[in-house]
Structure 1
Amino acid sequence: MMRGTARAQRKRRLVLATMLALPLLAYLALCLLMYGRQQSLVYFPQGTRMDAVHTDYAIKRDGVALRGWLINPGQADALIYFGGNAEAIEGMRTRLSRWFPDRSIYLLAYRGYGASDGEPDEAALVGDGLALFDHVRSRHRQGDVALIGRSLGSGVASQVAAQRPVKQLVLVTPFDSLAEVGAGHYPWLPVNWLLRDRYDSHRHLANFDGQVLVIRAGRDQVVPPVHTNRLIAALPKAPEVVDVAEASHDTVLSGDVPVEAMARFLAR
């Protein structure tokens, strides 16, 4: 009788332990799944792909061909535009040409985007951005080279500005760290442990001594303004900040206010 009772108690303990372990195992499996799929959650090149014949120029880095567009060629000063994580940047050509007619403007599709070869990740995109800056600098030796980084591109532009002689940096809907933004969107996941591509702009710009213009969207649900505010607070010098209170992440550059602010800032 006592043996039967002991067996029943062991069985109940085993069942209870199994019931407690299953949610933990399921959570760990979900974490592994998210870890394996993280590149597809950060980068969205699918809607940007095109044939190389539609691009203006190419540069090669580590055997990878990167292709892009040149606007307003022949100007003394230059501007490099780094786009968002799902942005077909060639769609910005007309507006950039109209906004900044006195600068030659360079757009380069990220690896795996547009007609560029390769696969995107932080180290590759930053390295490509540095190579693009050096290419542009060699073509505009007597002029200035300014940067605009939008959303994900703000993370790339911040690292390029930190490693090259950049006097003017425009950041559109930027963030302090992609890891922190991800943690806000997925509070039930240990994003800071899982994320490989972190884009820690607040750390990279800690010693930046150039001028910074930040454009902040008041209704941004992709990069909530709190993350833009944290980046602003981390900068060594107070930046110029333009608030577009009614704008979302995607509509922030639709009105005259941010465009006029960028034009004034880059004309200094």
Structure 2
Amino acid sequence: MLRILVITLLALAGAFLLVRLLEAQMVFFPSKYPSGFWSLQSGNDLKITDVWFTAGDGVKLHGWFAPHPQPVASLLMCHGNAGNVSDRFDWLDMLHQRAPVNLFIFDYRGYGRSEGRPTEEGCYRDAAAAFDWLAAQNLNVPIIVHGHSLGSAVAVDLVHRLPNRAAGVILESAFTNATDMARLMFGPIPVHWMSSMKWAADEKIAAVTIPKLFIHGEYDSIIPIRLGKKLFEAAAPPKEFVALSQADHNDTFVAGGEGYYRALRNFMEKIALIR
């Protein structure tokens, strides 16, 4: 009996250590420069400028800034867990054509041309530094934070820790927390008990009082729409949920069609009127 107990405890300890060692590799899938589409920095009047800034702990970060000639807002974009900013070029290009907004997208530490290694807290710090850079440009339009997929948790943390500095937040293909995602991915295996990562957007969003727009594809094969709706239910008003009937996880800006861009424009223009 004692032998079985010892073996069980050793197995649990081994599993715990394994999860802690590998959790970053299970969450973060960065592409480092020059991997990606870095030559595509202009198209359809989209002009991208390289931006360098520093996180609060000294990590050097990189982003892309694309101004609009007649913006109603500036959009700070927190991307998902894979690739780098250059993989979002088509999205930036299409958004620039269809919405009157300045675009600022940055790479978390360890992604693209940013230095360091990605961590949960590091992503939060990087987003705060990106917000500070954008605010310092004094563009005289409201700042709206956008988060896609993993970036939705980063966006929620940002507007939670910087209350009322952003004018609104857009959460696309969002999820609730790391526990719900671990259960989705690993079923009955209790990975969430062993992981240090929380990504607890659902615990923070109730305290966020700025306007919120949720966008989710009904055919999302990575983060099911029920998790997006669960986060929406946890959110305080004002809030709006837009379900895109033909969209999956990474194609909302294409499969969502004009309904996707109309939702973004309407949200931005409402905020511009309020501010």
For 1:99 and 1:138, the matched residues in 2 are separated by 26
- Could you tell which deviates more after superposition, 65-74 or 105-114? 65-74
1:66 equivalent in structure 2: 61
TM-score by length of 2: 0.82
2:123 equivalent in structure 1: 125
For 1:264 and 1:251, the matched residues in 2 are separated by 20
For 1:215 and 1:237, the matched residues in 2 are separated by 16
- Determine if contact 1:232/1:238 at 8 Å carries over to the other structure: no
Of 142, 145, 154, which residue of structure 1 is paired with 2:143? 145
| SS of structure 2 residue aligned to 1:205 | helix
For 2:196 and 2:16, the matched residues in 1 are separated by 13
- Tell me which amino acid in the other structure corresponds to 1:168: G
Judged with a 3 Å threshold, the aligned counterparts in structure 2 of structure 1 residues 34 and 247 are, in CA distance, closer, same or farther, namely: same
- Determine if contact 1:48/1:86 at 8 Å carries over to the other structure: no
1:43 aligns with 2:28: yes
For 2:68 and 2:139, the matched residues in 1 are separated by 14
For 2:244 and 2:102, the matched residues in 1 are separated by 27
Q: How many residues align?
A: 250
Judged with a 3 Å threshold, the aligned counterparts in structure 2 of structure 1 residues 146 and 157 are, in CA distance, closer, same or farther, namely: same
C-alpha deviation, 1:44, in angstroms? 0.3
For 1:25 and 1:163, the matched residues in 2 are separated by 39
- Structure 1 runs not aligned, ≥5 long: 1-12
C-alpha deviation, 1:147, in angstroms? 1.1
Judged with a 3 Å threshold, the aligned counterparts in structure 2 of structure 1 residues 68 and 141 are, in CA distance, closer, same or farther, namely: closer
Judged with a 3 Å threshold, the aligned counterparts in structure 2 of structure 1 residues 96 and 89 are, in CA distance, closer, same or farther, namely: farther
1:34 aligns with 2:19: yes
2:268 equivalent in structure 1: 266
- Determine if contact 2:74/2:143 at 8 Å carries over to the other structure: yes
C-alpha deviation, 1:234, in angstroms? 0.4
For 2:138 and 2:105, the matched residues in 1 are separated by 15
- Structure 2 runs not aligned, ≥5 long: 40-48, 271-275
C-alpha deviation, 1:220, in angstroms? 1.7
- Determine if contact 2:178/2:192 at 8 Å carries over to the other structure: no
Match runs of 1:68-83 below 5 Å? 68-72=63-67, 77-83=73-79
| SS of structure 1 residue aligned to 2:248 | coil
- Could you tell which deviates more after superposition, 254-263 or 88-97? 88-97
- Determine if contact 1:162/1:207 at 8 Å carries over to the other structure: yes
- Determine if contact 1:78/1:140 at 8 Å carries over to the other structure: no
- Tell me which amino acid in the other structure corresponds to 1:184: L
1:86 aligns with 2:82: yes
For 2:113 and 2:123, the matched residues in 1 are separated by 15
1:207 equivalent in structure 2: 207
- Could you tell which deviates more after superposition, 20-29 or 84-93? 20-29
- Determine if contact 1:99/1:259 at 8 Å carries over to the other structure: yes
2:184 equivalent in structure 1: 184
Q: Deviations over 1:95-130 (max 9, x none)?
A: 232233x32211111111010000111111111111
For 1:228 and 1:148, the matched residues in 2 are separated by 15
The structure with the largest alpha-carbon Rg is 1
C-alpha deviation, 1:32, in angstroms? 2.7
| SS of structure 1 residue aligned to 2:219 | coil
- Tell me which amino acid in the other structure corresponds to 2:34: M
C-alpha deviation, 1:59, in angstroms? 0.2
1:240 equivalent in structure 2: 240
